[in-house]
Amino acid sequence: MISDVYFPRVNGVSTSIETFRTELSKRGAEVTLIAPSYGEKENQQGIVRIPSRKVMFDPEDRLMAYGSIRRLAKALGEKQFDLVHIQTPFVAHYAAVSLAKRLKLPMVVTYHTFFEEYLYHYIPFLPAAWLKGFARRFSRKQCNDVDAVVVPSSAMAQTLEAYGVEKPMHIIPTGIPERMFENGRRQEFRKKHGIAEDAPVMLFVGRVAFEKNIGFLLEATDIARKTIPGIMLIVAGEGPALKTIEKQIKSMRLESNAMLIGYMDRETQLRDCYSAADAFVFASRTETQGLVLLEAMAAGLPVISTAHMGTRDILKQGSGSVVPEDHPESFSEEMVRVMSDEKLRARLGIEAKIYAKAWSSGAMAEKMLDLYKELASGSST
């Protein structure tokens, strides 16, 4: 595997990579990951860190040294790998294509990010229409460079087909580790963050980025508090939109109804965070999968979410979710309905836990392993 991003940088791509690495290793697959260095003093087993520098428009990310990756070719060739799995479209993609051709290995790429609706948030000085066209051409070229494309949802597959991607596409979501988000400490978390035990709490977990549409959730919360004055929205995460969100909370005078609590460690804090909430809310229009929705469901939380792109595959009947129309008034109505009805929340929470089990990371890793075997044998279709 090769990626322009990985832990300690926290986002959906890093989580997906780590989940698959873990599950594939359990099934006997040897996985080596090439990823940027974020200043680590030593490498983890199975991870090769590449010297990197900060990206101009997004200092959380890193740009790997292309030459350092190419110099790995001889050492990698000695390990006799079966294929190259590309996770991101920047330096990692071009270096991986070069390595794969040199080592005569098949290539698969996972298309994680819906760039058509992403780039203009980070390059606002260029016309949005031009950026969308560029993203489509860029994605089509890269996907057609490889032997197979992994997409996390049927909506993403349809989008890439419309772009003109001709290579075989395989729908393989990431999935979630079973029981990872169970048995959180609700009371301890609420006490630590000064949240009353009887406060109706809604939770968003994810990168605090413009494309996550968190401002929309604040607008809906502002409307909902007129009916439920004590309603609370917790935003757990960090990212480039943080200052903008802070300003919006102040300008709307939502300080008593919205709380930014920063990044929650997945191993030690996140399950407590989920446990402390009564419902999960989400409104991103650019998700290729919406893995965080499955995490919330696995924790037994009812989900209130709009349905766009990859989230449409998740938000189905019996999933423990309600799907409002995509405007703040409709969303706030569902917030009020769910947060006012304890029996409804209990029913949706039970549905959510049952539904999430069908999306286990182990089952998805089996599908990925089958694809690897097809590619290695030259029979992917």
Distance, CA of 18 to CA of 158 (rounded, Å) = 26
Domain annotation covers residue 180:
no
Domain annotation covers residue 367:
yes
- Same domain membership, residue 96 and residue 239: no
Answer whether residue 244 shows pLDDT above 70.
yes
Strand partners, 109: 86, 149
Share of residues in the chain with pLDDT > 70 (%):
97
- Same domain membership, residue 41 and residue 84: yes
pLDDT attached to residue 379 = 57
- Same domain membership, residue 156 and residue 217: no
Domain annotation covers residue 2:
no
Answer whether residue 178 shows pLDDT above 90.
no
- Helix, strand or coil, per DSSP, at residue 253: coil
- Same domain membership, residue 352 and residue 366: no
Residue 286 pLDDT class (50, 70, 90 cuts):
confident
Q: Which of 305, 309, 288, 286 is nearest to 348 (CA)?
A: 305
- Same domain membership, residue 107 and residue 24: yes
- Same domain membership, residue 168 and residue 83: yes
- Same domain membership, residue 258 and residue 131: no
Angle between helices 328-339 and 214-224 (to 10 degrees): 60
Domain annotation covers residue 3:
no
How many folded domains does the chain comprise? Answer: 2
Domain CATH for 108: 3.40.50.2000
- Same domain membership, residue 171 and residue 190: no
Domain annotation covers residue 4:
no
- Which residues, including other chains, have CB under 8 Å from residue 292's CB and lie 6 or more apart? 12, 205, 206, 280, 282
pLDDT attached to residue 258 = 98
Answer whether residue 171 shows pLDDT above 90.
yes
Rounded to two decimals, the pTM is: 0.77
- Same domain membership, residue 196 and residue 64: no
Q: How far is CA 141 from the centre of its chain?
A: 23
Backbone angles phi, psi at 223, to 5 degrees: -70, -40
Domain annotation covers residue 166:
yes
Domain annotation covers residue 222:
yes
- Same domain membership, residue 163 and residue 54: yes
Residue 166 pLDDT class (50, 70, 90 cuts):
very high
- Helix, strand or coil, per DSSP, at residue 318: coil
The residue range of the domain holding 99 is 12-175+361-377
